[in-house]
Chains A and B, each alone.
Chain A
Amino acid sequence: MGTYILKRVLLAIPTLFFASILVFLLVHIAPGDPVRVMLGPVQDPALVEKLQQKLGLDLPLHQQYLIWAGNVIKGDLGISTSVQRGAPVGELISQRYGVTLELALFALLIALLIAVPTGILSALRQNKPSDHISRVFALVGISIPNFFVGILLILLFGVVLLKSWGSGGFVPFSEGVGSNLQRMFLPAIALGTSYSAVVMRMMRSSMLDVMGKDYVRTARAMGVKKSSVVRRDIVRNALIPVVTVIGNSIGYLLGGSVVTEMVFRLPGIGSLVMNAVFRRDFPVIQAVVLIIVAVRIVVNLVVDLLYAKLDPRIQYTSTE
C-alpha cells in the first residue's frame, strides 16, 4: 500500500511541475511584448521598466519561470493589473473561492443524489421501459449545455430570483444560511442536473459491467438472496470505478462553475477569471488557472488513494 501511495504522489509532482510551466508560458504566447500586454493601456515607460525588472523579463526564460514559481510557492501570486489594480491576486482569490467551492459541492451533491439511484435502478431493470426512458433522459441531460439549463431556470423562476437578487448582494454561507441557499439553489441545480446525467450513465454502465461478472453468478448459484447480491456483489463493486470518475470530474465542475457563475452573476473564481480574461489581467489568469490545475491534480491523487482503500486488489498490483 505504501509503495502505491508513494508512486502516485511521485507521479503527481512532475505533472504539477510541467503543468505550471504551461501556465507560466501562457503570458508569453500572447502576441506582443509581455509587459505591455500585462500593463494594458497604461504605457508609462518608468512603470514598464519597473515591471520588466520585477518580473525579470530581461532574464532568460527559465530563470523567469523559477522566479515566478518561487513566488507562487511562497504564496505570492502576483499583483492584479486590471481587475483590481494593485491588489494581491491571492487576496482576490481568497475572497471568492468559497463561492465556487460551495457551488461545486452543492452541484455534486445534487448530481449524486439523482444519478446514483437512477443509474443503479436503470441497470437492474435493464431493457425494461423504465430503463430506456431514463437512458434517453440521461442523453438529453448531457446534451443541454448547463448554461442553457441555467437560463431556462431563470426564465421559469425569474420572479423568485429577482427577489433574491433584489435583496442585495450575495450572502456567504457563514452569515446567512437561508438567503445563501436561496441564491445558490438554482445555480447548483443548473450545474448539478447537467452533471447528474453524466454520472448516471457511468453508474449504469459500471453496474452492467459488474452484473456480467462471474462472482455474481457464483453468489446466485449459492442461493444468496437477490438483495444481498445486488448490494454486496454488484453495487459495491460497481461504485469503485464510479468513484474515480467522480474524482476526475472535478475538472468538469470547475469549468462548469465558470459558466454558471456568469449566468447567475455569482462572485466566485469563475467570474473572476472571466473578468481577468476580458481585461487581460495576466497575473490573475495565471494564478487562477494554476490553482484550478493544482486542485485537480490533488483531487485526482486523493481519489486514487480512496480507490486503493475501496479495492483491496490495488495493494498488490502496480499502476494502470
Chain B
Amino acid sequence: MNNATLLKIEDLVTRFHTEYGVVRAVDGSSMHLDEGETLGLVGESGSGKSVTAFSVMGLIENPGRIESGRIYFKGEDLLARSDAAMRRIRGKEIAIVFQDSLSSLNPTMTVGDQIGRVLRYHTSLSAREIRGRVIELLEQVGISEPQKRAGNYPHEFSGGMRQRALIAMAISANPSLLILDEPTTALDVTIEAQIFELIEMLKRQTSMGIILITHDLSVVANACDRVAIMYSGRIVESGSVKEIFRSPLHPYTRGLMHSIPRIDTPREEKLYSIPGEVPDLITLPEGCNFQPRCAYAKEKCTQTDPSLEEIETDHHAACIFAREIRDGES
C-alpha cells in the first residue's frame, strides 16, 4: 500500500433544489483514499453514496449543485476545474462503473464500438490499434470469444458479461481511480463472486485506487481495505475494515453489524433491524441525524450535530458518545 493520497474529499456539500424543498443529499462529508487502496462506501439507499461519486465525477446536474467543499484528486481541487477540463479527466483518470441494467449501454451500438469510442477520445491510437485493444480488454475482463463479442449488441450479453464489459470500458484508458457503484446488486451470488474475482485481479495488475459503493457489508469485508459508512448524507464512521468490524463505534454501524444474520443465531430469535426509518433528506432531524433511531441517544443528541472525530488512529466516528460506546463494549 502506497502513502500517496489519491483522493481527498473535504466537507462536501451537494444539494438538490427541487420544488419540494432542498434535498441535502451530501451534507458535509469527508473521506480519503490512497493509491492502490480499496475503499468501501457503505450506506442504505438514499444515504448519499452515489451522489458523492457523481460529485467527484462532476456529473451533478440541475437541480443539483455542489455547494461547498473540496475534492482533491492527486493534489488538485477538482471543483476548481472547468467543465471541459473535467471531461478530459472523466473516463481517463477517474472512471465509474454503474450498476448494471441493460440500460447502461447504448442498445444500438455494439459493445466493441462503445468501448472503442472511449478509447478514441482518451488515447491517440489508430482505428486498428483501438480494435485490437478492445479485444484485449474484453479478454482481460474474462469475456470469452472476445472477437465475436466485440461485434455483439448489449442485449446479447448476459448480466454478468455486461458488467464485465462496463468494467472493460472503465479501465480502458487506465484510470487511476475506479469507482464501482453497486456493481453486483443486480446480479446473482455466483456471478457476483466472479465479478469480485475480476476486481481482485485488476487490483493486483494495476495500482488503481478503487471506491466500492455498496450496501452489503459482506462485500466490504471481502474486498475492501478501508470503509466509510454513510448515513443521510454524512460519513458517520470510517477506518480500516478490520478495525471497524472488530469494534464499530457509531451506533448506526453497530446496528448494521447487528442486523447481519448469522448462522449461529438461535432459530427462534427474530432478525434484528434498526428501528425507525431513514430520514427524509429535505427535513432532517434536530441535532444528530441518527438520533431518533439510536439506542444510545440522550438529550444532548438533539442539540449537537456531531462531526467526524478521530477516536483512535485512523478510526473516525461522528458520535459524541463514541468513546463511551467503545469503553462500554466488552
Question: Are B170 and A222 within 8 A (Cβ)?
Answer: yes
**Would B104 and A214 count as touching, CB distance under 8 A?**
yes
In the complex, whether A278 has a CB less than 8 A from a CB of chain B is no
A209-237 interface code vs B (CB 8 A; 1 in, 0 out): 00001110111111111001000110011
**Least CB distance, A215 to chain B, in whole angstroms:** 5
* Contact partners of B272 in chain A: CB under 8 A: none
When distances are taken between beta carbons in the complex, the residues of chain A under 8 Å from B118 are 222-224
Q: How many Å from the CB of B100 to the closest CB on chain A?
A: 9
Does B254 touch A at the CB level, under 8 Å? no
**Contact for A224 among B59, B103, B117, CB less than 8 A:** B117
Which chain B residues lie closer than 8 Å to A221 at the CB level?
A: 57, 59, 90-91, 95-96, 98
Query: Quick one: which of B115-154 are within 8 Å of A by CB?
Result: 117-118, 121-122, 153
- Cβ–Cβ < 8 Å partners of A225 in chain B: 87, 121
Residue A312 lies at the interface, judged by CB distance under 8 Å to chain B: yes
Min C-beta distance of B67 to chain A, whole Å: 22
Q: Is the CB of A237 within 8 A of B106?
A: yes
Contact-residue size bin, chain B (C-beta under 8 Å from the other chain): 20 to 34
Cα distance A214–B106 in the bound complex, in angstroms: 9
Instruction: Give residues 59-105 of B contacting A (CB, 8 Å).
Output: 59, 87-92, 95-96, 98, 101, 103-105
Per-position contact with A for B158-190: 1 when CB-CB < 8 Å, else 0?
000000001001100000000000000000000
Chain A interface size, as a band, is 20 to 34
- Alpha-carbon separation in the docked complex, A218 to B91 (Å): 10
Check if A311 is an interface residue, CB within 8 A of chain B.
Answer: yes
Q: In whole angstroms, how far apart are the Cα atoms of A228 and B170 in the complex?
A: 18
**Can you name the residue of chain A whose Cβ is closest to the Cβ of B105?**
A215
Question: Which A residues between 275 and 320 are near B, CB-CB below 8 angstroms?
Answer: 310-313, 316
How near does chain A come to B13, taking the closest CB pair, in angstroms? 22
What residues of chain A lie closer than 8 Å to B92, measured between beta carbons?
223
List B contacts of A223 (CB < 8 A). Answer: 87-92, 118, 121-122
Rounded to whole angstroms, the CA-CA distance of A225 and B156 in the bound complex is 26
> Residues of A contacting B108 with CB < 8 Å?
236-237, 240, 310-312
Chain A residues positioned under 8 Å from B107 (CB to CB): 215, 237, 311-313
Known contacts A215-B106, A217-B59, A218-B104; A224 and B155 CB within 8 A of each other = no
Selected from B88, B90, B121, B153, the residue in CB contact (under 8 A) with A312 is B153
Q: Which of A228, A236, A312 has the most CB of B within 10 A?
A: A312
Complex CA gap A213/B98 in Å reads 13
Q: Who on chain A is nearest to B155 by CB?
A: A313
B4 within 8 Å of A (CB atoms): no
Give per-residue flags for A152-180: 1 if the beta carbon is below 8 A from chain B beta carbons, else 0: 00000000000000000000000000000
Given A215-B105, A217-B98: A222 and B155 within 8 A (CB)? Answer: no
With A and B bound together, what is the CA distance between A273 and B61 in angstroms?
55
B interface residue numbers (CB < 8 A to A): 57, 59, 87-92, 95-96, 98, 101, 103-109, 114, 117-118, 121-122, 153, 155-156, 166, 169-170
Closest 5 CB pairs of A and B: A223-B91, A223-B90, A222-B91, A214-B103, A312-B153
* A interface residues with partner B (beta carbon < 8 Å): 213-215, 217-225, 228, 232-233, 236-237, 240, 310-313, 316
Given A223-B92, A224-B121, A233-B106, 7 extra CB contacts under 8 A: A218-B106, A221-B59, A225-B87, A232-B117, A237-B107, A312-B108, A313-B153
